[in-house]
A and B are shown apart, each in its own frame.
Chain A
């Protein structure tokens, strides 16, 4: 299917040798790349058919999509690092926690801004918290890459172990620095409560998540499409020495990507911490399985896939929990299994060939 669309007509030259036989690809072949994008609306329609009350369906759908955005924010860094650099960073969860702690500490310092009933001030405070968290986790990511990840590029298993070790160390350092108690925090004043429309209620905070999630998605796509960075990293994972032999300083690019991934985790941490209104050193670790599921069904490393995967998970969770709470437990796993049966490489695989 790689040849489904030829950019240019075969060369005109007089060479008889190179004119491979081309036929038009079948409809299914041409539709295939778009299938994942259709899944979200399909799922929403299925939900609408299954759920009797429309206002309930609306609440569930909108808040499910918003939850998906939040998950996407947390997963984006992982898919970047996992997909581009082929590094399984179990420590990602710890970065989420650190982001939450730094961000929340910042918010506690800026209490007068968060408690003021002004949306502007509140958002400014959040911005400050996010920046602080991203700087902190970015810096931590830099150290993590240098000390922990660098020796294990290419070895998945060792990555799992070493980053797991890093996870424990970071969590413990959080406990040393912030103490073992969980920290409760209220969202900024203007972001508490919900907006109601058509009998459905949506937390205001989720709207913020939607905004940030969309912005992030677009920004990531632009960077990866418009620059060589994505290419360098993907090629570097496959054959690092060759990339260097072309003249790229692979190390620097790798560090940069890792820092970016970690900073995104920090952003996710602030968002998640404020959503939970309760932060613990383990919070990142607890959400990791969900994040992994999203990244995997997306197709390791694809930002689009991760985005769709997150939305699907958000919707699925809400629908199933509403229809049959008992099944909520396995809904994500079932979703993952189903998608992998359909597309063993995830919905939008980045890896095209062996």
Chain B
């Protein structure tokens, strides 16, 4: 049963299985295990990013397409929900319409961009996506009448998903309010999307993608229409990213270019995929958890470190909480060094 849910793709390493289980439990009971606004917020982001990163892994790890436009699709989902909620008024129907419209738009865009990959070399394609994504981000900030420009859009989600909605008193010291429902909406939707992706990469279709990644020329000559497969994969990946974006919008109730379209998010995604392990799906889980926790708590940790070294010349300066980016950069580099196949790859090798 469990194996079936995982589409027969078991973690293949006891330690990995244990870690994944721990993450699953932690996320499933996050509001109860780690009460507090910050920690629940982190948990929800982790859920959403797992989906986002996994959808990117479908593209990158399984199909071998390097694209920098993934945040664009993410943003389309998010803006879909935001615009629908603004124009249709708060309500679940707005969420549904927005999500679907966003996903559809993302798929259409993905289709158009994918047609490019026909003609140009992989790395050229990557640069095209980079340029297109940055142009879309600027466009969004220029079309301020529609998109709210740089300032973004704040909107209302159905009352049932906000703290104002109460449906009971307390359970294990946690208030039973709409925020909790919102969290579980995010969690369950993410879980479902992740399992769906897992199924897709383990399907015959997924195998073809791997073949194309390895040798597209040969894949074509054994009868696979590479273009069709690449395009389909890109569209699926974009649509799932848009779903993740929609969830994100529902969770933070705000969209804006910096929040959902910025290149920094793209970098985060890349980093998560690679640290976790490309072409493994589970890597997305590990990468997202690790990185988001680092991002959220590294600064605090460093503050402590800086305090400890007060008086030493340069060290506190380097350890100051404001230099957390420096250390994140170093983490980038080290992780590629020590986990060339990602953490999942390393765990599966044993050791």
Contacts and interface: CB of A to CB of B under 8 A. Distances in A.
Is A in direct contact with B (CB under 8 Å) within the complex?
A: yes
A158 B274 contact: yes
What is the size category of the interface that chain B forms with chain A?
A: 35 or more
Interface stretch (A28-36, A225-233, A255-263, A329-337): A329-337
A300 B126 CA distance: 13
B127 A293 contact: yes
A88 B123 contact: yes
Interface string A150-167: 011000111011101111
Contacts, number: 103
A312 to B, nearest CB: 15
Interface string A296-319: 100010000000000000000000
B2 interface: no
Contact of B340 (A88, A151, A166, A293): A151
Nearest to B130: A289
A178 interface: no
Nearest to A329: B138
A211 interface: no
Contacts of A175: 323
A56 interface: no
Given A176-B318, A292-B130, A329 B332 contact: no
A157 B274 contact: yes
B270 A292 contact: no
A329 B141 CA distance: 12
A164 B127 contact: no
Contact of B135 (A156, A166, A172, A329): A329
A123 interface: no
A344 interface: yes
- Give the dominant DSSP class at A's interface: helix
Interface string B106-150: 000000000010011111101110111011001100100000000
A172 B142 contact: no
B66 interface: yes
A329 B116 CA distance: 21
Nearest to B132: A333
Interface of A: 88, 147-148, 151-152, 156-158, 160-162, 164-169, 171-173, 175-176, 289, 292-293, 296, 300, 329-330, 332-333, 336-337, 340-341, 344-346
8 contacts: A161-B336, A165-B329, A167-B329, A169-B330, A176-B318, A289-B131, A340-B119, A344-B120
Interface of B: 60, 66, 116, 119-124, 126-128, 130-132, 134-135, 138-139, 142, 267, 270-271, 274, 278, 314, 317-318, 323, 325-326, 328-333, 336-337, 340
